[in-house]
């Protein structure tokens, strides 16, 4: 990734619906060059797709929580089955497989606290492989919508 790729990527992250001509003009290159750079970014897997950001409350998902879960036995099969089955639940936004005291962190949404409680009772307490779980309600969820590449690690950091 060079500075031009980074500038194009920044423009796409700010507004992926803007026309190629607008991006090219903002970064100071020809539209054909811009289009080719975007194609190469997709081909290299830097750009993985485009999506619409949706307001969760508009989908009747006003409550968000993180559920930290520990499973046993900790085997490849148990981990894979947990990831597969939990990620398919309609309340689940994402599943993170973790190192540390918790094996998974599951980002969930619900209509309200009662729905969240019922979801946890119905979907987590019934699973034999779950040794324990704890729930943390999310009051506010902020994300960094525009990411630039980080510099390579310096020698002092890698030692």
* 150 within some domain: no
pLDDT digits (tens, 9 = 90+) for 77-127: 999 999 999 999 999 999 999 999 999 999 999 999 999 999 999 999 989
Three-state DSSP class for residue 31: helix
115 and 94 inside one domain: yes
> Are 76 and 136 a contacting pair, CB within 8 Å?
no
Question: What is the domain extent for residue 20?
Answer: 3-43
pLDDT, tens only, 10-53: 999 999 999 999 999 999 999 999 999 999 999 999 999 998 88
Residue 10 belongs to some domain of the structure: yes
Residues 104 and 128 reside in one and the same domain: yes
In a domain, 133, yes or no: yes
Q: Rounded to whole angstroms, how far apart are CA atoms 31 and 11?
A: 14
- Domain assignment present for residue 157? The answer is no
Number of domains in the chain: 2
Q: Judge if pTM exceeds 0.85.
A: no
Q: 60 and 134: one domain? A: yes
| CATH code where residue 101 lies | 3.30.70.920
149 within some domain: no
């Amino acid at each position: 990734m060079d500075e031009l790729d980074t500038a194009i990527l920044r423009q796409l992250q700010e507004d992926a619906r803007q026309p190629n001509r607008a991006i090219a003009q903002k970064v100071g290159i020809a539209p054909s060059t811009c289009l080719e750079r975007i194609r190469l970014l997709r081909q290299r897997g830097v750009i993985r797709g485009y999506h619409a950001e949706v307001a969760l409350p508009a989908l009747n998902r006003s409550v968000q929580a993180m559920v930290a879960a520990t499973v046993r036995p900790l085997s490849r099969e148990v981990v894979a089955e947990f990831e597969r089955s939990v990620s398919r639940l309609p309340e689940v936004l994402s599943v993170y497989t973790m190192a540390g005291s918790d094996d998974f962190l599951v980002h969930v949404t619900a209509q309200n606290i009662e729905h969240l409680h019922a979801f946890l009772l119905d979907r987590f307490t019934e699973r034999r492989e779950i040794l324990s779980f704890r729930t943390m309600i999310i009051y506010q969820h902020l994300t960094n919508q525009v990411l630039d590449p980080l510099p390579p690690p310096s020698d002092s950091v890698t030692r």
